């Protein structure tokens, strides 16, 4: 039986703008880079909050309808609950030395990963490249993302 070929390249799509939507993409990208795997991160729709200069420091846990919060789910709609849960999670992540989103994106970009924004989403939300982090590689179309992803494992978070 032949051994499967190791993964050489991943393309990760981040489409959710919540803490639990963005961090999996960042953690997977960072882990891949640490293993020497080529990485392209593609931020689309609300996932672009991770690379939006005005929003990347205010990303919160989605407390409404989040079954992962278990008993806290029924409180999710009350004012301040999302901020409270986000603050608690941020303290736990800091204790584990998990960087905040802006620092994590910079670290991943500095490791050689490509950081891309979806052109259709940028246009849909009336943004420009200037609204996005300086570590952004480019604003590209889905077709261009597929070209970059040739031969890659595609991961959608």
Give tens-digit pLDDT for 23-77. 999 999 999 999 999 999 999 999 999 999 999 888 877 755 555 655 555 555 5
Total number of domains constituting the chain: 2
Tens of pLDDT, residues 99-137: 999 999 999 999 999 999 999 999 999 999 999 999 999
Cα–Cα nearest to 11, from 117, 151, 141? 151
Read off the pTM.
Answer: 0.86
- The two tokens of residue 11 are 């393309």
Is residue 104 located within the same domain as residue 48? yes
Same domain, 51 and 119: yes
Kindly list the distances between the CA atom of residue 88 and the CA atoms of 80, 133, 152, in Å, as whole numbers in the listed order: 12, 26, 36
Cα(11)–Cα(28) distance, integer angstroms: 10
Q: What is the CA radius of gyration of the chain?
A: 16
Please tell me the predicted confidence (pLDDT) of residue 1: 75
- Host domain of residue 73: 60-99
Residue 24 and residue 41 in one domain: yes
Q: Is residue 68 domain-resident?
A: yes
Q: Do 50 and 69 fall within a single domain? A: no
- pLDDT given for residue 83 in this prediction: 73
Q: What pLDDT does 152 receive?
A: 94
């Amino acid at each position: 039986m032949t051994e499967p070929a190791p993964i050489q390249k991943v393309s990760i799509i981040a489409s959710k703008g919540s803490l639990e939507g963005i961090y999996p993409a960042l953690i997977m990208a960072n882990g891949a880079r640490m293993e020497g795997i080529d990485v392209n991160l593609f931020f689309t729709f609300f996932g672009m909050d991770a690379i939006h200069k005005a929003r990347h420091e205010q990303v919160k846990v989605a407390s409404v309808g989040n079954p992962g919060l278990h008993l806290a789910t029924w409180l999710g709609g009350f004012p301040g609950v999302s901020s409270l849960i986000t603050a608690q999670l941020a303290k736990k992540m800091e204790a584990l030395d998990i960087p905040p989103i802006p620092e994590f994106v910079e670290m991943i970009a500095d490791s050689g990963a490509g950081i891309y924004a979806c052109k259709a989403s940028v246009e849909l939300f009336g943004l420009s490249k200037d609204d996005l982090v300086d570590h952004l590689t480019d604003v590209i179309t889905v077709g261009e993302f597929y070209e970059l992803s040739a031969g890659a494992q595609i991961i959608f978070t």
